[in-house]
Chain A
Amino acid sequence: MELVNKKPSGLVDVKMHYCPGCGHGIVHRLIAEVMDELGIRERTVGIAPVGCAVFADDYFNCDMIQGPHGRGPAIATGIKRSQPDCIVFSYQGDGDLASIGMAETIHSAARSENITIIFINNAIYGMTGGQMAPTTLLGQPASTCPTGRDAKVNGYPIKVCELLAQLEGARYLERTSVSSAQGVIKTKRAVKKAFQNQVEGKGFSLVEILSMCPTNWGMNSLQGVKFVDEKMMPIYPLGVFRSTEQEGGQR
């Protein structure tokens, strides 16, 4: 009998700690599958963030480094520039990437570092227990804005793909979601493109993935995917914001 569906070799065979209904585990698997399909696992170095995905350094079956909150793109820059043959990806949450690490995000894009960033937008700080994120929706409650995000007090959600699309160095930007089977398939395609770009030396690629955090949204898994589809997508529309075809060119 042929085994048609097995754990990709890019994942270590351990139990993940993510909550039921969380999007992190799905995205991990997609990255691992892409590493296998592109045959790059043995030369890939991943960066685990500070956030719920901090333990990703145990989960991915490739060399891993865990770094300070928000600094993934800087760490990726250091690795890639000193080992250009390596494939380097930074895995980050929205607090990590769009709040404390925004400068690193923008400047690595501006320099068009030949790296891949996988950005999980779950509109909340998962690991620290549900505080407001830069991507928290207006009106969405969080533990530091219990009555809902109020633009007067907390400002407006940051749309990372739209923001980065202003930068010439950002070669590939796409927003997807893992809230449906179709979304997962599209996300995989985007993740693959983001890695493939790096293999081809095309420069900065980032995939923003709308993802569920039922635990800190105070929902069950089904309500979680509904929240992504109904509440997040109107604010964070899916699509390609910049593509390599637009700019082209080796770096």
Chain B
Amino acid sequence: MGEKILMKGNEALAEGAVLAGCRFFSGYPITPQNEVPEYMSWRLPEAGGTFIQAESEVSAINMLYGAAATGIRTMTSSSSPGISLKQEGISYCAGADLPIFFANVVRGGPGLGNIAASQGDYNQSVKGGGHGDYHTIVLAPNSVDEMGNFPKKCYELAEKYRMPAMILADGILGQMMEPVEFKFQPVDPANLKKPDWSLGNAAGRKKRIVRSYDLREGELEKMNWARAKKFQEIEDREVQFEEKNINDAQLVLVAYGTSSRIAAAAMKMARDKGIKVGLFRPITLWPFPKKQLAKLAQRVKNFLVVEMSQGQFVDDVRLAIGGTAQVDLYARPAGIPSGEEVFAVVEKLYQSIKPAKAVKKVEKVKPAKKAKSPKKAKPTRKLKPVKKKTVKIKTAKKATRKGGRR
């Protein structure tokens, strides 16, 4: 605690979990999260825990299901295709009310996609993921520091509500190096209370059952209603988000994870030119900061969503705002936007914003010099107000295919 260490995001994630009391990891290699199992393979034995390289993601999540049922802190991690394989097991954990923690270091999809960063697994993460009626708590870090500090939050939330909790990261967050400060005392698992549902050592008590099924007439529906109530409580109590430069903002960027870092860079460029742009970043993607966004939309009438997917996250933003403000989208499905690129969109949008006051101000500003990457983003000085349509800017194709690791 208190010390800053330079680490890769994936390593910070693994170390953060161990410091938070994780003593069991099962996983299967997949880029760009390989550093997590690699790190765990020496770190967990050192901490008196278990690391297993499973034969598949399917097996890995079921090892976790068994280990978590004994009441210890467990972790698995993967990247997109591997998380898809884990979904049946995650659904069983949700159905058996088991607190588990996992991380998805997202890569491009669908299919084998590529190994670069993407946010294409948003819907899968926040809408349940596997089969059946449930939610997963989803935390979206945007720095290596948060990669290291969020596992503990996930354990606490997962255990408080007895359900799966996950970190939704991406290839950039997993691979980049930044200083991390673990802002908590290491958790000694011996000091954690054994839950009253955990399996093993039944001496002097009745048998316990961990299961996700209930065939008795009406009972499953009762269970699901009880969970729905719990989910509502979580939506009321556990939302986390971050706001920057909101107070005088005429246009608010909405982004999570890596996109929020890029959006913040664009915001800074805009602010340097006197353009009143703010940033709203959900930290919990489920529960989604619906109320907070709706409240913001009472004052701010223009939002720009930036996401590295086709337009998944924007749906939740629009649902929250409910037509009371204009929500535009800048999407890069399996592409990584630059700050300049987003800034160009911001500038163009900002000029179109009514009241005229805002437009006037922009006109004082020198037309932006051609931004580096986007070929077609020519900010025109006089823009018609943006209709209810999406702003999409094509970017030059970059050959980013790296050989080898799949």
- Please list the residues of chain A having a beta carbon within 8 angstroms of any beta carbon in chain B: 12, 41-43, 45, 47-48, 54, 57-58, 60-68, 71, 74-83, 85-86, 103-104, 106-107
Contact = CB atoms under 8 A, between A and B. Distances in A.
Contact of A66 (B60, B68, B204, B210): B210
Contact of A64 (B56, B72, B210): B210
B105 to A, nearest CB: 22
A42 B70 contact: no
Contact of A107 (B55, B203, B204): B55
6 contacts: A45-B70, A68-B88, A71-B65, A75-B65, A78-B64, A82-B72
Contacts of A103: 55-56, 58-59
A75 B92 CA distance: 12
B99 interface: no
Interface of B: 23-24, 26, 50, 52, 54-56, 58-60, 62-70, 72, 74, 88-89, 92, 96, 199-204, 207-213
Nearest to A80: B66
B209 A66 contact: yes
Given A78-B67, A79-B69, A43 B200 contact: yes
Contacts of A41: 202
A123 to B, nearest CB: 25
B70 A75 contact: no
Given A57-B209, A65-B209, A78 B63 contact: yes
Nearest to B206: A61
Contacts of A12: 207
Contact of B59 (A64, A66, A104): A104
A63 B200 contact: yes
Contacts of A61: 207
Interface centre among A47, A83, A85, A86 (most CB of B within 10 A): A83
A112 to B, nearest CB: 13
B72 A71 contact: no
B52 A81 contact: yes
Nearest to A72: B62
B55 A66 contact: no
Contacts of B65: 65, 67-68, 71, 74-75, 78
Given A42-B201, A75-B62, 5 more contacts: A45-B199, A57-B209, A62-B202, A68-B92, A104-B62
Contacts of B64: 78
A169 to B, nearest CB: 13
A62 B70 CA distance: 14
Q: Could you say which of B52, B72, B207, B212 has the most chain A C-beta atoms within 10 Å of its C-beta? A: B207
A208 to B, nearest CB: 21
Contacts of A54: 213
Given A63-B209, A78-B66, A107 B59 contact: yes
B202 A43 contact: yes
Contact of B55 (A62, A86, A104): A104
Contacts of B72: 82
Contact of B209 (A58, A79, A85, A104): A58
Nearest to B69: A65
Contacts of B201: 42-43, 83, 85-86
Contacts of A77: 26, 52, 63, 66
Contacts of B55: 103-104, 106-107
